[in-house]
Amino acid sequence: MPSSLVLIGLLGCEPGFEQTGGAPPDVKVRSGTTEIAVDVISGEHACFKLSYACDQPDKVTVTVDAGVQLSWSRPEHDDGDSIGLAPPVFCHSTHKLSAASHTFGLTAECAGVSSSDSVSAITSPPPFRIASLMPNKTTYKLADEIVLELDAEADGLIVTANFSAVDSTYVAGSETVQPLGGGKYRIRRNMTSTGNTRVSGDYVVPVSVSDGTAVKTRDVPIRWLRSGYPRVALADATFIAGGAPTRSTSPSIANLTLYIGALTAQGPSAPALFEPLVDEVGGRPFSIGFSTSAPIGDTVRIEMRDTARSGAFVATYHAEVLPMLVSSTFYSVSGLLVGNPLPYGQPSANLQFRVVLPDGTASAWQGSVLAWPGQQGEVTVTGTVSYEYDDCRPDTSAPLGVSPQYYPDDCNKASKPARRVLVEVTNDCNQSHRQHAGEDGKFILWLPDTCANEEFRVVVHSVSRKVAGARVAVGGWNNGAINSKEQLTANPAHYSTHSAVVATFDPPFGNSVTDVGHVFIPLEGEPDMAWAAHIIDNGMTALDYYANFVDPADILPLNVSWATNGPDLEEKNWFVHSVHPSLIHLRPRSTNAFSLAHEISHYIHFNFMHAATTYGRFSEPMAVANAAMITKSSWMSVYPDAVYEDLDFNGDYLDGIGGPGVNGFQQADLKFFPEHSDFEDCQNREDECCPLEDDDPEQIPLCVQGPYGWVWRVFMDLHDGTGIEPWDKFYPVGGGAPQFYGNFDDVDGGGGFTPSAHKLADVMFGYLGGGHLPENMNRDDRGLEFSDLVDVLDGMICRGHMTQAQAEPLLKDAMNYKYDFDGVLSCN
């Protein structure tokens, strides 16, 4: 099956396939020549089927009117194995082209010999599209106005936005839509009604655009904090927009005291890759003392709220036992506050803390403190920061004709909070205070006002603060031309991190608070920093996921690099553990969340599973499934500008090949590997990647390319639920009666938004293990040595996640894989 990770860097591949009949006359298949043929020309997409003169070319170039749009070369894994599939399809957005005939060209190189083909096609740009849709802020309070800026690239459109989710008083059509000309529109909604009963929290506002025939919709995320953001925050805490949960009062907590100290500052530091970031951030230290009638362990949760504002903060702290000659156990908890409650030198009457014990019970809210020292001339700066990115998703209304598992992409400019990026306030007197932005991009920073009449600056950096042991740093290669990943180094001086000044202000003398409001990192003006913020957001999402299964303290700070010098590194993504155990190299300014999640998964396999876990047989297909688990989507992006693949696409690897299907479905390019017996042998022999004899040159391509595309689909069905399969009817070679598989996936893998319920992850870390995790040395390794598909299936059985009756429809009926249920399996 064509791989979807051609440009992700770590993947397997397959032999070529020549259809032997049953295809309609307009379908081009592999026939020993290089060919490009029209697949789908729709209002927004021009897609083409690519065929090659050899099974797998070494280089592929696709051009549009002689301009290069896709450049691919066969990647190699660290061990030198050639891996990766050449693109089977190519898509181009028609909005980038004029309404005219255009020439689409394909050039492929096989064993040093180039061959080319071209085809002309008439394209017409769509009448409109949602090119950009952004809110003016990320967080709104009572009396604010929500403003949405829309670019639909056409005038005279019908534009609506439904604010009912965030405003209970909203009536359809009450929003204001102002045409600005040039295809741009401004949508307004005043949040002034005190009768709005919506509680503080996160909502979406759907926006609809129509020309009277076609309709496009997009959702805009909105955070509603009715009373505004708290003026004081717990450093390194989670903000709960809806407020602290209701808890039972614990009778065992007594002697609760709070102490809040004077502000402290931290000098500036230049963040870099491969070097630990100084985590001291400056703030107002606090300590909480309390006693319990019985020991509670060594950690507690602290919750903090501002009763005049919305939301609450929660963080887990070490609880130090104090030596007291009394019957109760006394504890002390220390941390940092950021922000500046006014009036000067006095505690805020609205600031409250409480201690939450491991059993979920809590102390009463406490508002009094022992001290709150202040100093004249504290300059506090607050705001929220967001960034612009390309929001791409599959356009499921336009499946490709001969490759229905592929869909063209649909992209628009959007914005997201720049969560966890390092934010710094600095001035010309070399004073600095650093803190990472919250989950909603909120920051609260301060400096002493001892630098008279000088400009203060708010700067964002391409490094996330260390949260629960994990950190992401992003930088560009700056050490000259580079043509292979082996030229990368672990020298911090060879990479430049990114930064952007997002606000400047001149504070008044004395104690002051300056709210710079919503600051923005644009793609056009600050492309590197905007890209880095997106990488940090996606990277932290992946690390947060794995923190459910491994100790975050064991996760190395991740270093993400990129380079524009050298074609070998321009179109690939790699986990380059041969250079550094936590270095990931990405395609320049890639906004692909799936790619980064995939490479981080390789890092996790490398460090938290069996040290000899094989790449192609286990790590590659599992990283595909893991990326889908992290991104909460079965859609995998394949190539730049273009294509998504449905991972939940299955077919009988032996019988379900070729022939005309239903609704235009042709399975012409879907073949996992030639014969069923080959895969049986592959699982039972000790060869590295396949069951083939070294002296059989006809079989060598199988060994190189392997059936990994099929394996990751099995992993996906072990993860997702038991709902209707998107594809359940397949036609055999040469036509004939269709084969129906129906709901062949009866295994409920707990797929969903709750990581702890993911059964495939439980098998990975609870059954297999290794690396930083305890390895299951007593498990029965019935497949090839080290981890493979057999071990995963054994783990699903041994951990009680599936039965033979649930697995057989998928493994035997749909996939023809004769997993040995009857063999002796020792579940240790």
pLDDT single digits (tens) 157-174: 999 999 999 999 999 999
Length of the chain: 828
User: What pLDDT sits at residue 336?
Assistant: 85
Tally the C-alpha atoms within 13 A of residue 336's C-alpha that lie toward its C-beta: 17
User: What pLDDT sits at residue 234?
Assistant: 87
**CA proximity to 535, closest of 580, 485, 587, 490:** 587
Give the residue carrying structure tokens 């299955």: 650
pLDDT, greater one: 186 or 449: 186
Does the pLDDT at position 451 exceed 80?
Answer: no
Q: Given pLDDT bands bounded at 50, 70 and 90, which one contains residue 693?
A: very low
User: What 3-state class would DSSP assign to 556?
Assistant: coil
DSSP 598: H
> Worst-scoring range by mean pLDDT, 144-148, 465-469, 581-585?
465-469
User: What 3-state class would DSSP assign to 541?
Assistant: helix
**CA proximity to 635, closest of 622, 650, 625, 646:** 646
Does the pLDDT at position 5 exceed 90?
Answer: no
pTM of the entire structure? 0.84
User: What pLDDT sits at residue 480?
Assistant: 85
- Average of pLDDT values for 622-639? 87
pLDDT, greater one: 18 or 518: 518
- Average of pLDDT values for 219-236? 89
Cα 367 to Cα 252, 347, 556: the distances in Å are 19, 9, 39
Does the pLDDT at position 448 exceed 70?
Answer: yes
User: What pLDDT sits at residue 396?
Assistant: 80
- 56-102 pLDDT, tens per residue? 788 899 999 999 888 887 765 443 333 456 787 888 888 888 899 99
DSSP 369: -
pLDDT, greater one: 360 or 693: 360
Q: Given pLDDT bands bounded at 50, 70 and 90, which one contains residue 640?
A: low
- Average of pLDDT values for 408-434? 89
- What does residue 701 show for φ and ψ, rounded to 5 degrees? -55, -30
User: What pLDDT sits at residue 758?
Assistant: 95
DSSP 244: P
> Worst-scoring range by mean pLDDT, 28-42, 102-116, 184-198?
28-42
Strands of 603-671 (E only): list them: 635-639, 643-646
- Average of pLDDT values for 103-118? 93
User: What pLDDT sits at residue 796?
Assistant: 93
> Worst-scoring range by mean pLDDT, 74-78, 303-307, 542-546, 584-588?
74-78
Q: Given pLDDT bands bounded at 50, 70 and 90, which one contains residue 551?
A: confident
Region for 226 from its dihedrals, namely left if φ exceeds 0, alpha if ψ lies in -120 to 50, beta otherwise: alpha
User: What 3-state class would DSSP assign to 796?
Assistant: helix
pLDDT, greater one: 565 or 706: 565
Residue 62 corresponds to which tokens in the numbers above? 């696709």
Does the pLDDT at position 660 exceed 50?
Answer: no
> Worst-scoring range by mean pLDDT, 190-199, 434-443, 636-645?
636-645
User: What pLDDT sits at residue 201?
Assistant: 94
User: What pLDDT sits at residue 43?
Assistant: 75
d(CA 590, CA 392): 11
Does the pLDDT at position 444 exceed 80?
Answer: yes
Residue 619 corresponds to which tokens in the numbers above? 């790590």
User: What pLDDT sits at residue 375?
Assistant: 58
Cα 197 to Cα 308, 309, 350, 389, 432: the distances in Å are 17, 16, 23, 33, 41
User: What pLDDT sits at residue 587?
Assistant: 80
**CA-based torsion, 16, 20, 23, 26: positive or negative:** positive
Does the pLDDT at position 580 exceed 60?
Answer: yes
Does the pLDDT at position 543 exceed 60?
Answer: yes
Q: Given pLDDT bands bounded at 50, 70 and 90, which one contains residue 432?
A: confident
- Average of pLDDT values for 747-751? 91
Q: Given pLDDT bands bounded at 50, 70 and 90, which one contains residue 734?
A: very low
pLDDT, greater one: 185 or 745: 185
Does the pLDDT at position 651 exceed 60?
Answer: no
- Bridge partners of residue 562, in order along the sequence: 476, 586
Strands of 576-693 (E only): list them: 583-586, 635-639, 643-646
Does the pLDDT at position 522 exceed 90?
Answer: yes
Q: Name every residue whose Cβ is closer than 8 Å to that of residue 319 and which is 6 or more positions away in sequence.
A: 296, 297, 298, 299, 300, 331, 332, 333
Neighbours of 66 (CB within 10 A): 8
> For the chain, how far is it from start to end, CA to CA, in angstroms?
35
User: What pLDDT sits at residue 653?
Assistant: 36
Is there a contact between 600 and 471 (Cβ–Cβ < 8 Å)? no
User: What pLDDT sits at residue 147?
Assistant: 97
Q: Strand 232-234 vs strand 329-339: parallel, antiparallel, or unpaired?
A: antiparallel
- pLDDT averaged over every residue in the chain: 78
201-210, strands of its sheet edge to edge: 139-140, 215-224, 201-210, 158-161
d(CA 92, CA 26): 20
> Worst-scoring range by mean pLDDT, 370-379, 749-758, 759-768?
370-379
d(CA 494, CA 164): 51
Residue 591 corresponds to which tokens in the numbers above? 């906004």
Does the pLDDT at position 213 exceed 80?
Answer: yes
User: What pLDDT sits at residue 741?
Assistant: 59
221, 225, 226, 232: CA torsion to nearest 10:
-170
d(CA 554, CA 569): 29
Using a 10 angstrom Cβ sphere, with 0-12 exposed, 13-18 middle and 19 or more buried, the burial of residue 259 is middle
> Worst-scoring range by mean pLDDT, 309-323, 523-537, 778-792, 814-828?
814-828
Is there a contact between 755 and 761 (Cβ–Cβ < 8 Å)? yes
User: What pLDDT sits at residue 431?
Assistant: 83
Question: Which of 144-148, 572-576, 616-620 has the highest mean predicted lDDT (pLDDT)?
Answer: 144-148
Does the pLDDT at position 821 exceed 60?
Answer: yes
User: What pLDDT sits at residue 240?
Assistant: 93
pLDDT, greater one: 811 or 208: 208
- Bridge partners of residue 134, in order along the sequence: 149
- Average of pLDDT values for 716-732? 73
User: What pLDDT sits at residue 25?
Assistant: 28
Q: Name every residue whose Cβ is closer than 8 Å to that of residue 231 and which is 6 or more positions away in sequence.
A: 306, 309, 339, 340, 341, 342, 348, 444, 513
d(CA 297, CA 178): 59
- Average of pLDDT values for 552-564? 85
User: What pLDDT sits at residue 664?
Assistant: 27
- Average of pLDDT values for 177-198? 95
Does the pLDDT at position 657 exceed 60?
Answer: no
Q: What is the CA radius of gyration of the chain?
A: 29
Cα 736 to Cα 22, 656, 657: the distances in Å are 9, 11, 11
Does the pLDDT at position 827 exceed 90?
Answer: no
pLDDT more than 90, % of the chain: 36
Residue 603 corresponds to which tokens in the numbers above? 């890092």
Is there a contact between 65 and 46 (Cβ–Cβ < 8 Å)? no
User: What 3-state class would DSSP assign to 792?
Assistant: helix
- Bridge partners of residue 318, in order along the sequence: 299
Neighbours of 574 (CB within 10 A): 24
User: What pLDDT sits at residue 728?
Assistant: 61
Give the residue carrying structure tokens 């797998």: 56
d(CA 496, CA 517): 29
Instruction: Taking each helix axis as running N to C, give the angle between helix 593-608 and helix 527-546, from 0 to 180 degrees, rounded to the nearest 10.
Output: 40
User: What pLDDT sits at residue 472?
Assistant: 92
Is there a contact between 594 and 643 (Cβ–Cβ < 8 Å)? no
Q: Given pLDDT bands bounded at 50, 70 and 90, which one contains residue 281?
A: low
- 42-60 pLDDT, tens per residue? 778 888 888 888 877 888 9
- 391-410 pLDDT, tens per residue? 988 888 776 665 667 788 88
